[in-house]
Chains A and B, each alone.
Chain A
Amino acid sequence: MPSQDTSSKQKQPVVKCESVYKIFGENAEKMLQSSNGKVDAKEFQDAGCVVGVNNASFEVHHGEMLVIMGLSGSGKSTLLRCISRLTDTTAGQIFIEGEDLLALSGKELIELRRNKMGMVFQSFALLPHKTVLENIAFPLQVKGNSTKDSMIRAMEMVELVGLDGRENYFPRELSGGQQQRVGIARSLAVEPDIWFLDEPFSALDPLIRKEMQDEFLRLQGVLNKTILFVTHDFDEALRLADRIAIMKDGIIEQLDTPANIVLNPATEYVRKFTEEVPREKVLKIETVMEPLDSSEELADLKVSKDAIIETVAEAVLNEQKPIAVVDENDKIVGVIHNSKVIHVLFGDNKEETND
């Protein structure tokens, strides 16, 4: 059993946003005040203001990965920059582990960044004059750690991201994927609690991107950080996310688990994204299982309720009998018939798009 302390810590959201607004422009604050929280992007644009984030409220819990998805100009990066306080929010409140981020003084903010935050950037943002090792050790040295300790820790990170043997290379001598590994290693060097990733894989080739996503999932498996991940790639979002926030024109259109977003898109805009998504790649067994009927004879095979359909489809289809679905404690919570799986694999898409 976890102790009282950690359980209360886990209950408290790590990141909490309360109606956050970010509006660019000369007299944004005044306009926002007069609009009473109801921001119309067009009206603001006419006045020379650009709405970046419009009334964003959500919570991210410990160990959770929230993916913020949106097309370019949707305000997703702005939202991330607000939460990391790289830009100042126009209005609203942000809490990091219960602490009011916007009330922090410059010094406290630096302390927070030095100890709790790590960030990965789209174009890697490595320091060109430093080697791989020095880049990774940079946040540690900035913190004031001794050179020796920093370098030992940095070397561990080099090994973690699989760049051993290249620690004395300069960023310009590395491929894009390798550079982003350095970026990831640097952001993890201080062992942050919250990990921000701003389109980390967008600048990479599709094959490398896939590889890096796998690598990222592996790392997350080991590290279990609280993650805010920004992407414009819906497939990537589905692949990685615990929950996805879909943004458009600064507004969060829908914030839900990948499965729920695919099954029940909240708006027309979200639906457009989900149309082309193969269900089996998103849905978990849980969503198609049926309650256990004791009269049925079950196959020997058992599948986890959290398994993605695609990964177990072949095994399920090979069985004639219904298959037991178990939870993490190996308790049977339902059954799955292969007809259901066939339905997901081949049948459903068209009907849904038609209606």
Chain B
Amino acid sequence: MDYLKNNPKLVQLGVVLIGFVVLILMTGQYSEIIDVRDGFTKAVEKGQIVPVTGFSESVSMILSGQLPPQFVRIPELNFLNLVVSTSIVYILTTLLIMAGLIFNNYYSKIQSSKISLIDWFKRYWTKLFLYVIISIFGGFFVAPTLFTWFFGEPGTSSFWDLPIIVTDYGNFLMYEWFPIQVYDPDIEEFEDKALIFQITRGISAALLFCIALIREILLGGVKTIVAFTSWDWLSENEWAYWPALPWTVVCATTTMLGYALQGRGLAMLACFGTLYISIFGQWEPSMETLSFVLIAAPVSVILGLFFGVWSYKSKSVEVVLAPLLNIAQSLPHFSYLVPVMVFFGIGDQAGAIATIIFATPPMIRLTLLGLKRVSPEVLDAGMMSGCHNYQLMFKVLIPTARRDILIGVNQVIMQCLAMAVIASFIGAKGLGFNLLLALNQLRVGQALELGLCIVIIAVVLDKLSMAWANKQTDYFADLPFMLRHKWSLLFGVILLIGIVLSYIGTFIFKGGINYLYLIPHTKGVTLEPMLQGGIDWFLDYFFFSLQDFNKWLIVDILLPMRESYLSMPVSATFFLVMGIGYIVGGIRSALIVGLCLLFIALLEWWDRALITAYMASFGVIASAIIGITAGSLCAQNKLASKVILLLCDTFQTFPSFVYLIPVMILFGVTDTTVLIAVIIYATIPATRYTVEGLNSVPEDLQDAGSMSGVSRIQRWVKIELPLAFPHIMLGVNQTVIFALFMVIIGAFIGTEDLGQFIIKALSDKQGIGNGLLLGLCVASIGLTVDHLIQTWASRRRKLLGIN
């Protein structure tokens, strides 16, 4: 009893769990209906059950130990009609909420610092705005919804229509809102076009031009010339064709850059990387991908820096951006492909924009983090040196925060290449597109070779950018012209030699293929037959044992787990999640996770969300176990931890699709495939954070442990693990996000979760609303877990006094 008294949280947890179980048991007659996919909706449509029971009936059902149906699954709830027909009750509710919020703020502020009413108003009037918005939302939106939930009938204008409403608004904004007169050169007349349409298409055209320019420098072409002249001009002047750079020139230039920026090591890496790409015949798609990354990455970095600096300067920007960044980072990539497609068209530019949306948030975050970590004394030193604002930002703050900002740049490059495959869904050309094609044809060897190209580009670009940022200048070197310009001169020489070589090549090689100019895909070396042979051999020997394993996993573990997830009624889920939220972070956390959950519950995909949650949680549990174990083992040894961190870096560079390839061959199109891919992918952060966490345990604590005579195991259990645990939990947090992403990507090979609908939305032009809202559903799951873990970890860290 004393133990329980000392651990009130344990008691709370017990209460939550008991309540959860009780609610599940009370599901009673509906449990059979909801464990079938979409069963509840179908049953309602068939008239087998009523979706909502009246108040008195609900009470009597609860008293008899049964949940009323609206507590099992939130039905279509009428909300818009009620908002329109404002009733005095809702106005009163609104005023009541507003008064409560304002009084609460005033009371707490006046307690802490004795200020007058006027001062208080002057200082907090911005907050009052927020309160007004909250109370209108509460009074006119939440209150009527709750009202219908208990008493009303399901209406016509429901939350389930939200995707359609969003789509309509999107289309309206895009095609109808604010028409402006635009001159159309084709019909030589002014035309009405929507403003947003014009703006987005303008952005598209600009981006596309930039991509085409770089692409044509690398690969040759006519689009850039056309952009300055016309197609007619081009057909009149047949000589006007921009030739590609011979691959030898690109290869030698990257090698030179590597040497100039860092030294022999980087030069070798660059050389082998580009050679591999060329010899394996992936030159063209690689350069296409490269041209797209060379635009997307700098734009993301600049945007990220801009917003990072802005939110450093202005607290309110930071506050507004924080939740947006959270959502953007947990939104599955697929879900914003449709909106991007609608707003920016299909093609490389759309791919670039989707990539930018995905790659900018981490950059913003790391910029802000870095700037905040700059020591105040350095800031003072800058001021005392007489910097004005601009100099302070660009000469003192940003360079001093460089370490974090460079990590951001690294993240951007990695994200850009990780997006290469997904961007190809909306028309980005290059390696990603070919990889997708190879996957569709089940050509694993091919896909692996392509995946490797992406990794190579990522690694080389990353190392080059790091080396460039770390470059040092020599001020007292008084060099002659030749030496000062040695690198540009050398580039000239390389260019010349490359061109001469490729010219000679036209005489050596027959059949129109000049290997010194460009090695076409069909003539490249490939290891595909060998790889394929290896896989066939593996399958021949292990097919049956694999099948048995697969069957066992599905029948004995996955199916029961899935069913138990599906039988969770809405009310029980709320009780569990909000209860845990309360235990972890008090009322505030409970409300936040409750809101996230409410968003999912109000839409029609509750059961799909449960399936997503089941797959993700299976993946997370397995990944966490594997990752923490592997991480702990490797952290015992300096070399091993270095190796494992390097491995994590490399694996993280792989585009997520690559993980699906080998597993698909082994297990076919089943949940197992997706889950194994999830586990492989999501184990990376768990391992990394475990190693980092364990390595960051202070040396003297280890020594203190040793002097107290702990054994190896004891040290691990009693000292290292508890101290590293908050950090490890952040790894688990990442694992959850990774797992969710992979589960959604897994829908590509067939699952029945939210991802399935997201993929469906992709091919639907009206899919903006579906794509976005489904994505937000996934993001809500992610955000719920994220919030719980972050809150817990930060409290725990404070408790342990770790920074």
CB pair A129 B377 closer than 8 Å: no
Binds A, one of B395-403, B428-436, B508-516, B739-747: B395-403
Would you call B384 and A110 a contact (CB within 8 A)? no
Q: Complex: how many Å from CA A240 to CA B402? A: 38
- Taking a contact as CB atoms under 8 Å apart, the answer to whether B386 and A111 are in contact is yes
From known contacts A27-B119, A86-B380, infer whether A142 and B113 are also in contact, taking CB-CB under 8 Å: no
On chain A, the residues within 8 Å of B123 by CB distance are 26
Interface contact A143-B475, CB-CB below 8 Å: no
Report yes or no: B381 in contact with A119, Cβ–Cβ below 8 A.
yes
A-side contacts of B472, CB under 8 Å: 131, 168
| Chain A: minimal CB distance from B119 (Å) | 7
Name A128-155 residues within 8 Å CB distance of B: 128-131, 133, 138-139, 142-143, 147-148, 151, 155
| Interface contact A47-B113, CB-CB below 8 Å | yes
Specify which chain A residues have a CB less than 8 angstroms from the CB of B375 in the assembled complex.
Answer: 123, 125
Cα-based distance from A139 to B384 in the complex (angstroms): 8
Interface members, chain B 358-392 (any A CB < 8 Å): 375, 377-378, 380-381, 383-388, 391
B side interface size, CB within 8 A = 27
Q: How far does the Cβ of B403 sit from chain A's closest Cβ, in whole Å?
A: 8
| A147 in contact with B402 (CB, 8 Å) | no
Cβ of B708 < 8 Å from any Cβ of A? no
Interface check A259, CB cutoff 8 A: no
Q: Is the CB of A125 within 8 A of B386?
A: no
- Whether A213 is near chain B, meaning CB under 8 Å from some CB there, is no
Q: Residue on B with the closest CB to A117?
A: B384
> When the two chains form their complex, are residues B113 and A147 in contact, meaning their CB atoms are under 8 A apart?
no
Q: Which residues of B contact A118 (CB under 8 A)?
A: 384
B380 touches A125 (CB 8 A): yes
The verdict on B545 contacting chain A, using a C-beta distance below 8 Å, is: no
A243 at interface by CB-CB < 8 Å: no
Instruction: Flag whether A302 is at the interface (Cβ < 8 A).
Output: no
Contact across chains for B381 and A121 when beta carbons are under 8 A apart: yes
The secondary structure that dominates the B interface is helix
Q: Is the CB of A123 within 8 A of B377?
A: yes
Give A107 to B123 CA distance when docked, in angstroms: 29
Residues B385 and A142 in contact, CB atoms below 8 Å apart: yes
Q: Which residues of A contact B142 (CB under 8 A)?
A: none
Q: Which of B386, B388, B400 has the most CB of A within 10 A?
A: B386
Give the total number of A-B pairs whose CB atoms are below 8 A apart.
Answer: 85
Specify which chain A residues have a CB less than 8 angstroms from the CB of B383 in the assembled complex: 86, 113
Is B112 interfacial (CB 8 A cutoff)? yes
Q: Quote the shortest CB–CB distance from B606 to chain A (angstroms).
A: 47
- Do the beta carbons of B113 and A26 come within 8 Å of each other? yes
B399 x A114 contact (CB < 8 A):
no
Residue of B nearest to A87 (CB): B380
Q: Which A residues are in CB contact (< 8 Å) with B485? A: none
Q: In the complex, what distance in Å separates the CA atom of A327 from the CA atom of B332?
A: 84
User: Is there contact, CB below 8 Å, between A143 and B381?
Assistant: no
Is B638 an interface position by the 8 A CB rule? Answer: no
Tell me whether A161 is interfacial, beta carbon within 8 Å.
no
Q: Does B114 contact A (CB under 8 A)?
A: yes
Q: Are B380 and A129 in contact (CB under 8 A)?
A: no
Chain B residue, CB-CB nearest to A118:
B384
| B contact residues around A117 at 8 Å (CB) | 384
Instruction: Say if the beta carbon of A54 comes within 8 Å of chain B.
Output: no
* A122 contacts chain B at the CB level, 8 A cutoff: yes
Q: Given A27-B113, A47-B114, A127-B400, do A110 and B380 touch, yes or no (CB 8 Å)?
A: no
B802 near A: Cβ within 8 Å? no
Q: Mark B115-147 against chain A: 1 for CB-CB distance below 8 A, else 0.
A: 100010001000000000000000000000000
Q: CA A111 – CA B383 in complex, angstroms?
A: 11
In this assembly, does A21 line the interface, its C-beta being within 8 Å of a C-beta of chain B? no
Assess the A48–B112 pair: CB atoms within 8 A.
Answer: yes
Enumerate chain B residues within 8 angstroms of A126, measured Cβ to Cβ. 378, 381
A186 beta carbon closer than 8 Å to chain B: yes
A142 near B384 with CB under 8 A, answer: no
A196 contacts the other chain (Cβ, under 8 Å)? yes
Contact of B386 among A131, A142, A155 (CB under 8 A): A142
A155–B114 Cα distance when bound, in Å, is: 56
- B3 an interface residue at 8 Å Cβ cutoff? no
B476 CB-CB contact with A under 8 Å: yes
A89 at the binding interface (Cβ < 8 Å): no
Residues of B384-433 contacting chain A, CB below 8 A: 384-388, 391, 395-396, 399-400, 402
A223→B207 CA distance, assembly (Å): 58
* Chain A residue with the shortest CB-CB distance to B473: A134
Measured CA separation A130–B475 after assembly (Å): 12
Q: Which residues of A contact B474 (CB under 8 A)?
A: 168
- Which residues of chain B have C-beta atoms less than 8 A from A139's C-beta? 385-386
B384, A86: Cβ atoms under 8 Å?
yes
CB-based closest 3 A-B pairs: A114-B386, A125-B381, A139-B385
A-B contact pairs, 20 of them (CB 8 A): A26-B123, A27-B113, A27-B119, A86-B383, A107-B388, A110-B387, A113-B384, A113-B386, A114-B385, A115-B386, A123-B377, A128-B400, A128-B402, A129-B400, A142-B386, A142-B391, A143-B386, A147-B475, A186-B381, A190-B386
